[in-house]
A and B are shown apart, each in its own frame.
Chain A
Amino acid sequence: MSELVRLAQQGDPSAFEQLYRQHVGRVYALCLRLAGDATEARALTQDAFVRAWERLGTFRGDSEFSSWLHRLAVNVVLADRRAAARRERRVATESDAPAYELGATDGWTPERLDLEQAIVALPPGARAVFVLYDIEGYNHHEIAELVGIAPGTSKAQLHRARRLLREALER
């Protein structure tokens, strides 16, 4: 277990801030791709780090801190998605479509932007499985457990997502 994690577990906020600086890029990328909305992604990223702070005491060092944090962030986003699906959360307006803002990062190309936007346009279920499997490297059993679906459904959603992406990118 790293010294920073140990200090943060003891309640040192500056150590936790350093952990935030180290990992915010990966957590934000995950939230952005799963939520498909930059405003939501910012809120979810904050939620994930607050949740991590609250649960730091449960991290035993059996895995990498980044893996633990990442899985926790996935749970935060998926729980929020499930809750969002059950209720009307926001002011509804005609132009209230998901807003995919470019992050403050280098390397944006038209080709990459096309792919990112095509991912955002996927149906939520297919998007979640695609992001977790193809980008984040989870296997179908892990995704099934995280999302609350059968492994077979995860596979079907992945194929559907890939097909929709191919179609979108060929247009």
Chain B
Amino acid sequence: MSLGWHRKRLDEPLQARVKALPREIRPPEDLWDGIASRLSAAPPAPGHARLTPAAEWGVERGLAGLAPPARPWGVRPALAAALLLCLGGVLWLRVARHGGWRVAESSGPYTLAAGRLETSAGSRVRLGVGHIGFVSVEPGTRLRLLSTRPEHRLALERGAIAARISAPPRLFYVETPSATAVDLGCQYTLAVDARGGSLIHVTVGWVELTRSGERSIVPFNMSAYTLPGFTPGTPFSDHASDSLKEALHRYDFERGGEAALATVLSQSREPDVITLWHLLGRTEGPARETVYRRLAALAPPPGGVTRERVLRLERGALQTWWDDLPGSPGTLPWWQRAAVRIAAWLGIF
């Protein structure tokens, strides 16, 4: 009888119990939405036979799969200066981006345990997001701190937050029951109601709302609703008329159809061109052509962006038009874009 035999005898009852353990455990919630929102941002794998899925989705799923607007660069002198900044920024980020969550300030009672943070009806918490920004957690809010790598990610279950992030895009994600808000360098408020619906309002930069590969891009001074089971709502301007907002809500979430779309188009003005641009991918056939005509009347398409290409939802044409739309980040003077970029890097929004 060896020591090995002795150990084996002792281990037999344990081994029997271990063998009975299941090899599979289903997670308590579906994780696919969170994964899908990151797939489109992931680089193409070496050896992929085709280009990135995002490029494919741009054609197959309308505007849903379009890459977010290109970050505003393009002037060589600015690029040279930015290169130096970026090198410094990369070094800074290696240190700063993966910092943990921390309570920077609080007022009133709150609970924080096992990654869950809940504020009472009269309390507020200012939560540090590594070294890239802050999240103000409003009264009556419940959220979960999910991860700090490879990006900061939290789940807002109910209540409201105000996020202020000074970092390059895609380092801060907020999951809600109806969509994921992907920070593209910005400040915004986000509220979730009891039904899991949400309303986001962006004040600086822009945010991508994504759900199962469908997405909306919400620039500054615009808002969007989301609802469980629906594509993220079409963004609307702070200056949009009430009747346009109501009609847009009917179109997005209440099967408003042609009547709602007709109201949106008739009420649309120059501040609503981002709304119309999104609607190109959310309409078909004659309706899409009607949207095209209204958008072209308010913001004529740049050279090379033809009616046929837009109606086919060609990714390049839509991206070029987006970059040229009044109010889109691409239309800012290069020095303004550079200033915003530098401010973001330095954290001085």
**Secondary structure type dominating chain A contacts:** helix
A112 to B16, CA, bound (A): 11
Interface check B80, CB cutoff 8 A: no
A47 to B151, CA, bound (A): 10
With A112-B21, A115-B21 given, is the CB distance from A159 to B36 under 8 Å? no
With A25-B24, A26-B24, A103-B26 given, is the CB distance from A80 to B149 under 8 Å? yes
Decide: B43 and A11 in contact? CB cutoff 8 A: no
A111 to B21, CA, bound (A): 10
Instruction: Tell me which residues from 90 to 122 in chain A have a Cβ below 8 Å from any Cβ of chain B.
Output: 90-91, 93, 95-99, 101-105, 107, 111-112, 115-116
Residues of A within 8 A of B (CB): 9-13, 16-17, 20-21, 24-26, 28-29, 32, 37-43, 45-47, 49-50, 53-58, 80, 83, 87-91, 93, 95-99, 101-105, 107, 111-112, 115-116, 134-135, 159, 162, 165-166, 169
Decide: A90 and B148 in contact? CB cutoff 8 A: yes
A20 contacts across to B, CB distance below 8 A: 32, 35
- Closest chain A CB from B175 CB (angstroms): 10
Residues of B within 8 A of A (CB): 7, 10-11, 14-15, 17-18, 20-29, 31-32, 34-36, 38-39, 42-53, 56-57, 98, 100-103, 112-115, 144-150, 153, 213
A2 to B17, CA, bound (A): 34
Closest A residue by C-beta to B7 = A159
Decide: B27 and A104 in contact? CB cutoff 8 A: yes
Decide: B25 and A96 in contact? CB cutoff 8 A: no
Decide: B32 and A57 in contact? CB cutoff 8 A: no
B26 contacts across to A, CB distance below 8 A: 24-25, 28, 103-105
A116 to B17, CA, bound (A): 10
With A91-B145, A103-B27 given, is the CB distance from A13 to B36 under 8 Å? yes
A90 to B18, CA, bound (A): 31
Closest A residue by C-beta to B101 = A91
A159 contacts across to B, CB distance below 8 A: 7
- Closest chain B CB from A29 CB (angstroms): 4
A45 to B33, CA, bound (A): 12
Decide: B14 and A9 in contact? CB cutoff 8 A: no
Decide: A112 and B20 in contact? CB cutoff 8 A: yes
Other-chain residue from B15, B36, B115 in contact with A17 (beta carbon distance below 8 A): B36
- Closest chain B CB from A34 CB (angstroms): 12
A88 to B25, CA, bound (A): 29
Decide: A11 and B56 in contact? CB cutoff 8 A: yes
Decide: B100 and A39 in contact? CB cutoff 8 A: no
Decide: B24 and A90 in contact? CB cutoff 8 A: no
B17 contacts across to A, CB distance below 8 A: 111-112, 115, 169
With A20-B32, A28-B26 known, 5 other A-B pairs at CB within 8 A are: A17-B32, A58-B46, A58-B47, A88-B100, A162-B7
- Closest chain B CB from A67 CB (angstroms): 13
- Closest chain B CB from A55 CB (angstroms): 6
Decide: A96 and B114 in contact? CB cutoff 8 A: yes
Decide: A90 and B39 in contact? CB cutoff 8 A: no
B48 contacts across to A, CB distance below 8 A: 9-11, 56-57
Q: List 26 A-B contacts (CB under 8 A).
A: A9-B49, A10-B49, A10-B50, A11-B53, A11-B56, A17-B36, A26-B24, A28-B31, A29-B24, A45-B27, A46-B31, A47-B150, A56-B47, A56-B48, A58-B45, A58-B46, A90-B115, A90-B145, A93-B112, A97-B114, A104-B26, A104-B29, A105-B26, A115-B18, A165-B14, A166-B10
